[in-house]
Amino acid sequence: MEISSTLQIVESLTRAIVEHRLRPGTKLAEQKLADHFGVSRTLVRQALFQLSQNRLIRLEPARGAFVAAPSVDEAKQVFAVRRMLEAEMTRSFVQTVTPARIKALREHVAQEKLAVNNADAAGRTELLGDFHVRMAELMGNEVLAELLRDLISRCALITLMYQSPQAAEHSNDEHAAIVKALAARDEALAVRLMNEHLLHVEESLTFDRKQPINEISLALS
């Protein structure tokens, strides 16, 4: 029961943030959330910690929890760094490619497609980001995987809030094309597709957002 309650709070808050119903910087008062969901503050605290792990909120000592306020500039810098890193990663992947690695990537792309088709915004964002981490993991490079995990989570909220379902579907198609080039050991094509893909993701983020609400109970209703 407790796990499902925590999960319910996480999902409700994620949805309110993603659907622009909660403004970045909004304070998330534990007692207000506990009253709204009819649960203990302990469960609320667990949910807020989970959301902070996903960088959707930030926890400030002695001040509480706030909806994260990612900067557009930071997202652009993250994408610039990712293009540098992932071009080299793609080259290395082609040079060490195996059927097992291609099979694992194809399975991942199939999961993405499912999340896109099911209109699961949080799920698809996580899976689309994880594709890149998965490449590093399959190469056995845990340092690179960790770096990418951190970079992707730094702009995950921006992607989550500003990427349209059409752009997400396009990302999934591009991942499939990258895997095809990797399987064919076509290094030049794979690197070009990866670079274009990251540029497309960045360009697809639309920053003309709806005006969110600051009132928690209204935003969650």
3-state secondary structure of 150: helix
- Which region among 93-102, 113-122, 188-197, 205-214 has the lowest average model confidence (pLDDT)? 205-214
- Give the start-to-end residue ranges of the domains of the chain: 2-69, 72-203
CA 19 to each of CA 83, 99, 213: distance values in angstroms, whole numbers, following the listed order: 28, 40, 11
- Residue 213 pLDDT > 80, yes or no? no
How sure is the predictor about 16, in pLDDT bands with cuts at 50, 70 and 90? Answer: confident
Residue 34 has, within 13 A of its CA and on its CB side, a CA count of 11
User: Which of 90, 84, 78, 81 has the alpha carbon at shortest distance from 194?
Assistant: 90
Identity of residue 202: E
CATH fold for domain 72-203: Four Helix Bundle (Hemerythrin (Met), subunit A) (1.20.120)
Which range has the worst mean pLDDT, 18-27, 29-38, 134-143?
A: 18-27
The confidence band for 208, taking pLDDT boundaries of 50, 70 and 90, is low
Average pLDDT over residues 116-133: 90
pLDDT band at 153 (very low <50, low <70, confident <90, very high): confident
Which fold does the domain 2-69 belong to in CATH? Arc Repressor Mutant, subunit A (1.10.10)
- Which of 210, 209, 213, 205 is closest to 74 using CA atoms? 205
What local confidence, expressed as pLDDT, does residue 209 receive? 53
Mean pLDDT of 79-90: 96
DSSP state of 212: P
Letter string b/e over residues 111-127, b meaning 16 or more CB atoms within 10 A of that residue's CB: ebbebbeeeebbebbbb
Burial of 142 (0-12, 13-18, 19+ CB in 10 A): exposed
**pLDDT, tens digit, 9 for 90 and up, residues 184-201:** 999 999 999 999 999 999
Q: Which is higher by pLDDT, 110 or 4?
A: 110
Banded pLDDT at 66 (limits 50, 70, 90):
very high
pLDDT > 70 fraction of the chain, expressed in percent and rounded: 91
pLDDT at 211: 47
